[in-house]
């Protein structure tokens, strides 16, 4: 038996130790993708690989670090853990994501006793793929860069120079990359210190008892929600437009959820076979995405730990897009995960109508330009994710112009920063009227972002979700899909959503429109005052209002 | 009474007043209820109670929450926003981050201007500030007509690249003044925040217009009333930057007054750090409903170039104050069989159970009361009558739900609250590369001194300081500040492209502009000084660090670029744990700050103790047992007095709790210095 005060102090200390690790990583990282975009995650694990505390910069990194320590132990045996060792791993089929996501981890010893592990994963700007930073059109893992199974970076406190040198010689930007590597080592070390301090203060046994109680509390909270869901089978499916290589073949994602009492199973085995193009991920990442979808409905505010997800089982088929096998390409590992997360809410909508939301615009909507800046003579690569609309829910309209679910708290690039850095002009950046699905609660609108090339350059695009645009729920309408038009209204007008290195000439216009979010509930039930406000604010045009909300509009006032 | 230097911190419930008598060189304090309906009335009452006649006032500074309240309560005026036509939605897009990752129902911070009230105005500059398309003056006149017809209260103008070339914004103002008269409330984004990033600059201008009329009206009313009653000196206002300005200047730039109140504490911290010769201190300010942390490093306040309030960003110099918890009102509750404290607060209403206003849940204040760590009679200077039986019943009920006796539950609530606050402090310091162990902890606010020693213990901090007048420390700090004006100019280029002589000229120009601004602030020539700094970053980073320069002429000196890059590298190392020597450095902006010293009270030394102080005792609970503890009145303590815990030090605005095993001494400044006994 352990007293509730000690449990709560330890619970907070573990969460805070993870936050300290995250603060250390953000503070020490060399590259903006980590310290500005937060493309990273940290965790403290107990000696049985259970999460004691974690802090994720991106939601889809939730709960997949323990896979790395567990796998290492399974492969090499428990005796492999030695004090003063630090390990590295980035194998997509183990860690689940692309090779850019590198995991660094190490055991924590107090005396000669293994107390647990600390681990961090962060996106490296380049790992030696065929194109700098990564490719949109890789067809196997060997094109995607250096691939490391678990191995030691530091052994008994001594750097393993051979491995460090292998890393250094295989990446394009060794200086910042080695900086990030060292920041990650500092991060797991601060976690090791915190965990050792806790063992010293409370003792191994108290810490273990407290952890069990903390896990049980989390499990009780989650089971109470799962219990509310009527037993049964819930299904939802959608498709990616394509795999980025074969542009005519959609990639289906199928989710079957089975609820039985306090247990819930997510089965994605009926989804597409792994593709030639890079929209594949390892099992660990499919599990993480399912956990995100689950957490958004079941326990959005509860810090994740070893008691999280106990009611959840995930079934994945090896050889599918969710269980990639070598040598499948994995660079674009997240597009189908974003769709899967939305599908969880769709499947469970009948059971949890108050908690779910209609679908979001759904993907990163990448615009990338490269060339030589005529103002400076320097080469540049611009890379932007584009915002879109989110789905409506019971009690609220979906939000307009938000980043997609896998990108967390990423911000758009200000026009003033963009035009200063790159020889391109943003001629329009605005809210895309009418793009959100109509409903009692309206889906959020996407955006319009229009560029003009001020010199000859090349354009790459990754826009998704035209085959399965955001759907509505409970009578709410679906949203407009994304559209990209090059030179709209000109004789050489072109519509496309994905391309790799398309040549643009000076004066060419690229007009990007992102999708909205789905509506919730029948449009006929929308409060007239809300519709009035939408018309006044221009979120909905009069024509759209007449078509979608006929019963609610007096055409005179807005014609 | 001769010259009286007066400062006032106008809080939500009380106004704290500190008077420094220039004749006998002593500080006195007062506390008066704030009158939210008409803040000026309360201020005048507070002034009247400490100074015989307003003519005696030789200097007056105050912190106001007028602007902040108007923003947080969303009670500002209706603002019309004029924005570049192709980018008129930038304010509503708001850069699009999702800050609560697992929230399917996420919504952005509510904007102050609805989309219908944004007018897109044609006219475009490019990234060098050159005009691509002329300003559509007719559209501006149409907007003016709309302003008139629809009863707006303010206008904000924010065009792309106006920070590089304000020509369109300036012309817009001419037209608007022509159309609407000179009294119209108008903010131009390049004047409010002369930096790039259009969303943040627009947001700054909108907030300034939104709160402008309320702040201006208040300052005008207060100034007029004080003058009518015979005050002859100008009224000063604290700015978010930690410096002050005259009310006259604040009326032109009301945005700067937004964090006017809380910054006093940090500036008091800077003064205390200097007086004590302890340059590195962590400050905790704990009140009934808030727990704020700030740091002083190397004797300097931690000033950031950007601040976010209620989710809305503003580009202005502001002292970093981290709000990390809910203070004494944090509610204890049970979740899934576990004990939780906060983050929910009982607030001021109903407040803790012991307030007797119908609050039934146990709070941290209730727990402290049950443990005997609060004197019910003297809580908040005797202004709030406490009901110990209500606290007892709430804590007992809470304990029962967890199978704990009342005292364990009360100590448990405090222990969890302390652990959470300490962890929040640690995360803030880790993010800045600071090791809390190397710092001292200063506690103020009504509840800070009650928890300080426990926080220090959690953090491994050896020394806790409770300054004199901890309840009025923020007001005290305001007397220790200078006039301050911040000027910013964009300056974007790689270090290789910097022309040192030209840069030096631009800084000299900024200095001249700043010193000219001081003319209106009544600062004698000899008391003025100028500091220059540049915002630098490694190429490809987004956020920059502000690097001080040795003077406006430094860039013209040989080897300037190497020197400034080295200085930047050192700062980067401190802040991020590494530097990148030799990597290209980007210049982003120039920052010039002018200060004017209007005189500060000398540090007041307390008389040396010759005998002991009156001692009494009563039981207080520590570690599950009621132990006889020393009860001391702070007013009886003189420099050199020393005693050991367990003890409580009582004063009208705060109670300091000293657990067993800690020793207290009173230093020359009258601060309680608390250390663990060896």
Best residue in A1, A2, A4 for a mutation probing chain B (most B CBs within 10 Å): A4
Decide: B191 and B202 in contact? Cβ < 8 Å: no
* DSSP conformational letter for B152: -
To 10 degrees, what angle do helices A174-202 and A204-228 make?
100
Mark which of A197, A219, A241 sits at the end of a domain: A219
Q: What is the pLDDT of residue A558?
A: 47
Q: How far is CA B180 from the centre of its chain?
A: 35
Residue of B nearest to A417 (CA): B197
Q: Which of A4, A26, A357 sits opposite B402 (nearest CB)?
A: A4
Burial tier of B485 (Cβ tally within 10 Å: 0-12, 13-18, 19+): buried
How far is A221 from chain B, CA to nearest CA, in Å? 6
What is the total count of domains within chain A?
A: 2
With a pLDDT cut of 70, the percent of chain A lying above it is: 98
Cis bond upstream, residue B343 (ω within 30): yes
Q: Which of B88, B91, B104 to mutate to test the interface with A (most CBs of A within 10 A)?
A: B104
Domain boundary pick from A195, A219, A243:
A219
Inside any domain, residue A49:
yes
pLDDT of residue A115: 95
> At residue A554, does pLDDT exceed 60?
no
Give A408's contacts in chain B (Cβ within 8 Å). Answer: 97-98, 101
Cβ <8 Å between B430 and A20: yes
Contact B427, B282 (CB under 8 A): no
Residues of A in contact with B98 (CB under 8 A): 402-403, 405, 408-409
Closest CA to B433 of A23, A39, A40: A23
Distance CA(B265)–CA(B449), nearest Å, equals 14
Are A295 and A308 spatial neighbours (Cβ–Cβ below 8 Å)? yes
Q: How many CB atoms lie within 10 A of CB B639?
A: 16
* Residue A462 within any structural domain of the chain: yes
First to last CA, chain B: 47
Cα–Cα dist A337/B57, whole Å: 68
The pLDDT tens digits of the residues spanning A376-410 come to: 898 898 889 999 999 999 999 999 999 999 888 88
Which residue do the tokens 């390409």 mark? A329
Q: Residue B159 and residue B643: Cα distance in Å, rounded? A: 63
Nearest residue of A to residue B426, measured between CA atoms: A20
Half-sphere exposure of B307 (CA within 13 A, CB side): 24
List, in sequence order, every residue forming a beta bridge with B70; answer none if it has no partner. none
Does A27 fall in a domain? Answer: yes
Residues of A whose CB is below 8 A from B492? 420
Last residue in a domain, options A219, A237, A268: A219
Q: Sort B498 into a burial class: Cβ within 10 Å, 0-12 / 13-18 / 19+.
A: middle
Structure token digits, residue B306:
């950007």
DSSP-assigned letters across all residues of B226-264: HHHTT--SPEEEE-TTS-EEEHHHHHH-GGGGTTTTTHH
The residues, ordered by sequence, that sit 6+ positions from A509 with a Cβ below 8 Å of its Cβ are: A427, A450, A451, A452, A453, A486, A487, A488, A490
* A8, A217, A389, best to mutate vs chain B, most B CBs in 10 Å: A8
The three-state DSSP-derived secondary structure of B457-471 is HHHCCCEEEECCCHH
- E-strand ranges in A357-432 read 366-373, 378-385, 424-431
- Is the pLDDT at A38 greater than 60, yes or no? yes
A212 C-beta neighbours (distance < 10 Å), count: 16
Among A26, A44, A22, which residue's Cα sits nearest to residue A34? A26
Give yes or no for residue A553 having a pLDDT over 60: no
**Preceding amide of A331 cis, omega within 30:** no
Query: According to the model, what pLDDT value does residue B604 have?
Result: 84
Confidence of residue A92 (pLDDT cuts 50, 70, 90): very high
Residue owning tokens 């306090």:
A262
Bridge partner list, A155: A158
B105 contacts on A by Cβ (under 8 Å): 357, 393, 395-396
| Alpha carbon separation from B299 to B275, B375, B601, B672 (Å, rounded) | 10, 35, 18, 20
Residue B205 C-alpha, separation from nearest chain A C-alpha, in angstroms? 17
Q: Check B416 against A415: CB less than 8 A apart.
A: no
For A404, the closest chain B residue by CA position comes to B98
Angle between helices A4-28 and B560-576 (to 10 degrees): 160
Local confidence band at A559 (pLDDT 50, 70, 90 cut-offs)? very low
Cβ atoms of B255 and B189 closer than 8 Å: no
Which residues of B are less than 8 Å from A7 in CB distance? 338-339
CB nearest to A428's CB, from B86, B95, B420 = B86
CA A246 to chain B, closest CA, distance in angstroms equals: 32
Of B115, B160, B492, the CB nearest to A415: B160
Q: Are A499 and A484 in contact (CB under 8 A)?
A: no
Q: A335 lies in a domain?
A: no
- Asked, for residue A170, whether it belongs to a domain, the answer is yes
A281 located within any domain: no
Tell me the per-residue pLDDT of A240-287, one tens digit each, with 9 for 90 and over. Answer: 999 999 999 999 999 999 999 999 999 999 999 999 999 999 999 999
| Cβ <8 Å between B198 and A414 | yes
Distance CA A463, CA A495 (A): 12
What confidence tens digit (pLDDT) does each residue in A48-78 have? 999 999 988 888 887 789 999 999 999 999 9
Q: Helix/strand/coil (H, E, C) string of B361-430?
A: CCEHHHHHHHCCCCCHHHHHHHCCCCCHHHHHHHHHHHHHHCCCCHHHHHHHHHHHHHHHHHHHHHHHHH
Q: Per-residue pLDDT for A552 more than 70?
A: no
Least Cα separation, residue B269 to chain A (angstroms): 25
Does a structural domain hold residue A310? no
- Grouping H, G, I as helix, E, B as strand and the rest as coil, residue A201 is helix
Count CB pairs under 8 A between chains A and B. 214
Nearest Cα of chain A lies from the Cα of B78 at a distance, in angstroms, of 15
The strand pair at B14-21 and A498-504 is best described as unpaired
The helix (run of H) or strand (run of E) holding residue B13 is none
8 Å CB contact of A190 and B197: no
Q: Domain limits at A145? A: 4-219
Phi/psi region, residue A253 (left: phi>0; alpha: psi -120 to 50; beta: rest), is beta
Distance CA B614, CA A320 (A): 81
Kindly provide the ipTM of the predicted complex, given to two decimals: 0.94
- The answer to whether residue A265 is domain-embedded is no
B665: β partners: B642, B673
Query: Could you tell me the pLDDT band of residue A4, with boundaries at 50, 70 and 90?
Result: very high
CA angle, residues B641, B278, B551, in degrees to nearest 5: 150
Structural domains present in chain B: 4-71+216-257 (3.30.420.40), 75-207 (3.40.50), 263-290+326-481+615-678 (3.30.420), 483-596 (3.30.1490)
Residues 6+ apart with CB under 8 A from A383: A133, A366, A367, A368
The three-state secondary structure class of A339 is helix
C-beta atoms of A12 and B114 within 8 A? no
Determine, for residues A28 and B577 on separate chains, whether the beta-carbon distance falls below 8 Å: yes
Q: Which of A3, A396, A408 sits opposite B101 (nearest CB)?
A: A408
Q: Which of B88, B96, B311, B535 to mutate to test the interface with A (most CBs of A within 10 A)?
A: B96
Ranges under pLDDT 70 in chain B: 1-2, 326, 380-381, 540, 542
Pairing type for strands B235-238 and B244-246 reads antiparallel
Q: Best mutation site among B84, B86, B102, B431 for testing chain A: the one with the most A CBs within 10 Å? A: B102
């Amino acid at each position: 038996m352990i007293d509730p005060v000690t449990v709560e102090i330890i619970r907070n200390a573990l969460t805070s130790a993870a936050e300290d690790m995250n603060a250390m990583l953000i503070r020490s990282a060399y590259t903006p993708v980590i310290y500005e975009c937060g493309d990273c995650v940290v965790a403290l694990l107990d000696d049985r690989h259970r999460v004691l505390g974690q802090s994720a910069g991106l939601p889809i990194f939730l709960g997949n670090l323990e896979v790395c320590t567990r796998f290492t132990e399974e492969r090499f045996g428990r005796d492999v853990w030695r004090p003063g060792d630090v390990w590295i791993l980035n194998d997509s089929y183990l860690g689940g994501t692309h090779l850019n996501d590198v995991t660094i981890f190490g055991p924590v010893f107090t005396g000669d006793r293994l107390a647990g592990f600390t681990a961090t994963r962060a996106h490296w700007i380049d790992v030696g793929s065929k194109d700098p930073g990564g490719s949109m059109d890789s067809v196997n893992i060997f094109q995607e860069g250096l691939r490391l199974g678990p191995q030691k970076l530091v052994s008994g406190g001594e750097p393993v120079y051979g491995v460090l040198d292998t890393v250094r010689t295989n990446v394009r930007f060794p200086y910042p990359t080695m900086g990030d590597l060292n920041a990650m080592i500092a991060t797991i070390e601060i976690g090791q210190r915190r965990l050792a301090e806790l063992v010293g203060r409370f003792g191994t046994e108290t810490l273990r008892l407290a952890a069990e109680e903390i896990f049980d509390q989390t499990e009780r909270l989650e089971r109470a929600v799962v219990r509310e869901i009527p037993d049964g089978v819930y299904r939802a499916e959608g498709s990616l437009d394509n795999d980025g290589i074969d542009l005519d073949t959609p990639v289906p994602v199928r989710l079957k959820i089975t609820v039985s009492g306090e247990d819930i199973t997510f089965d994605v085995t009926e989804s597409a076979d792994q593709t030639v193009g890079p929209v594949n991920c390892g099992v660990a990442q499919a599990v993480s995405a399912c956990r995100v979808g689950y957490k958004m409905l079941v326990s959005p505010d509860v810090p994740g730990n070893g008691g999280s997800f106990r009611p959840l089982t995930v079934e994945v088929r090896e050889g599918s897009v969710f269980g990639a096998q070598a040598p499948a390409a994995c660079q674009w590992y997240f597009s189908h995960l974003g769709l899967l997360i939305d599908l969880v809410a769709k499947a469970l909508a009948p059971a949890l109508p108050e908690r779910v939301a209609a679908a979001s615009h759904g993907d990163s909507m990448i615009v990338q330009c490269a060339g030589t800046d005529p103002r400076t003579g320097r080469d540049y690569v611009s890379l932007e994710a584009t915002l879109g609309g989110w789905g409506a829910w019971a009690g609220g309209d979906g939000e307009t112009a938000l980043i997609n679910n896998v990108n967390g708290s990423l911000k758009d690039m200000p026009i003033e920063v963009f035009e200063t850095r790159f020889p391109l002009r943003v001629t329009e950046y605005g809210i895309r009227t009418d793009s959100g699905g109509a409903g009692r609660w309206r889906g959020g609108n996407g955006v319009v972002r229009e560029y003009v090339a001020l010199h000859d350059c090349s354009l790459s695009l990754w826009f998704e979700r035209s085959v399965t645009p955001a759907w509505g729920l409970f009578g709410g309408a679906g949203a407009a899909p994304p559209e990209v038009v090059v030179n709209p209204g000109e004789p050489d007008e072109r519509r496309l959503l994905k391309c790799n290195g398309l040549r643009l000439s000076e004066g060419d216009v690229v007009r990007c429109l992102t999708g909205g979010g789905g509506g919730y509930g029948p449009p006929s039930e929308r409060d007239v005052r809300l519709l009035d406000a939408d018309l006044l604010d221009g979120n909905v045009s009069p024509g759209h209002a007449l078509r979608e909300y006929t019963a609610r509009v007096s055409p005179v006032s807005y014609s | 009474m001769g010259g009286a230097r007066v400062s006032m911190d106008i809080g939500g419930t009380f106004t704290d007043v500190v008077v420094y008598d220039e004749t006998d060189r002593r500080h006195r304090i007062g506390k008066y209820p704030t009158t939210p309906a008409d803040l000026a009335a309360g201020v005048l009452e507070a002034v009247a109670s400490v100074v015989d006649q307003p003519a005696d006032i030789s200097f007056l500074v105050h912190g106001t929450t007028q602007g902040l309240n108007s923003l947080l309560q969303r009670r500002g005026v209706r603002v019309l926003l004029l924005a570049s036509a192709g980018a008129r939605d930038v304010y509503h897009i708001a850069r699009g981050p999702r800050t609560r990752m697992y929230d399917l129902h996420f919504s952005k911070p509510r904007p102050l201007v609805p989309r219908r009230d944004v007018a897109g105005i044609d006219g475009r500059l490019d990234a060098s500030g050159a005009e691509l398309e002329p300003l559509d003056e007719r559209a501006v006149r149409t907007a003016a007509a709309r302003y008139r017809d629809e009863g707006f209260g303010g206008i904000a103008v924010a065009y792309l690249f106006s920070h590089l070339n304000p020509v369109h914004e300036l012309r817009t103002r001419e037209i608007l003044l022509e159309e609407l008269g000179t009294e119209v409330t108008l903010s131009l984004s390049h004047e409010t925040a002369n930096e790039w990033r259009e969303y943040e600059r627009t947001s700054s201008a909108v907030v300034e217009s939104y709160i402008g009329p309320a702040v201006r009206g208040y300052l005008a009313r207060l100034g007029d009333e004080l003058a009518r009653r015979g005050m002859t000196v100008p009224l000063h206002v604290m700015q978010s930057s930690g410096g002050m300005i005259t009310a006259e200047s604040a009326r032109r730039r009301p945005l700067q007054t937004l964090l006017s109140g809380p910054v006093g504490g940090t500036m008091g911290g800077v003064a205390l750090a200097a007086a004590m010769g302890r340059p590195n201190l962590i400050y905790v300010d704990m009140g009934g409903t808030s727990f704020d942390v700030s740091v002083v490093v190397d004797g300097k306040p931690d000033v950031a170039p950007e601040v976010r309030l209620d989710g809305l960003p503003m580009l202005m110099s502001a002292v970093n104050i981290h709000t990390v918890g809910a203070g004494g009102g944090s509610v204890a509750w049970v979740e899934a069989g576990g004990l939780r404290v906060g983050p929910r607060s009982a607030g001021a209403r109903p407040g803790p159970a012991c307030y007797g206003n119908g609050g039934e849940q146990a709070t941290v204040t209730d727990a402290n009361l049950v443990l005997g760590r609060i004197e019910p009679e003297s809580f908040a200077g005797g202004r709030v009558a406490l009901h110990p039986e209500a606290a007892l019943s709430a804590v007992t009920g809470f304990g029962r739900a967890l199978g704990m006796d009342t005292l364990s539950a009360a100590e448990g609530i405090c222990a969890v609250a302390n652990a959470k606050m300490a962890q929040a402090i640690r995360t803030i310091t880790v993010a800045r590369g600071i090791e809390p162990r190397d710092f001292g902890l200063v506690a103020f606010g009504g509840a800070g001194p009650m928890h300080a020693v426990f926080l220090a213990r959690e953090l491994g901090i050896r020394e806790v300081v409770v300054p004199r007048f901890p309840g009025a420390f923020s007001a005290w700090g305001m007397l220790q500040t200078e006039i301050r004006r911040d000027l910013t100019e964009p300056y974007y280029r790689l270090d290789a492209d910097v022309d040192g002589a030209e840069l030096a000229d631009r800084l000299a120009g900024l200095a001249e502009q700043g010193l000219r601004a001081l003319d209106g602030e009544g600062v004698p020539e000899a008391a003025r000084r100028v500091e220059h700094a540049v915002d630098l970053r490694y190429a490809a980073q987004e956020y920059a660090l502000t690097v001080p320069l040795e003077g406006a002429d430094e860039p013209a000196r040989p080897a300037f670029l190497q020197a400034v890059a080295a200085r930047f590298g050192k700062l980067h190392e401190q802040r991020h744990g590494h530097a990148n020597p030799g990597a290209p450095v980007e210049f982003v902006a120039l920052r010039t700050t002018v200060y004017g010293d209007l005189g500060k009270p000398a540090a007041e030394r307390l008389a040396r103790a010759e005998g002991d102080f009156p001692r009494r005792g009563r039981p207080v609970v520590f570690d599950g047992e009621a132990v006889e503890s020393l009860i001391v009145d702070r007013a009886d303590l003189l420099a050199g007095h020393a005693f050991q815990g367990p003890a409580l030090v009582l004063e009208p605005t705060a109670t300091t709790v000293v657990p067993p095993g800690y020793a207290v001494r009173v230093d020359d400044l009258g601060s309680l210095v608390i250390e663990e006994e060896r």
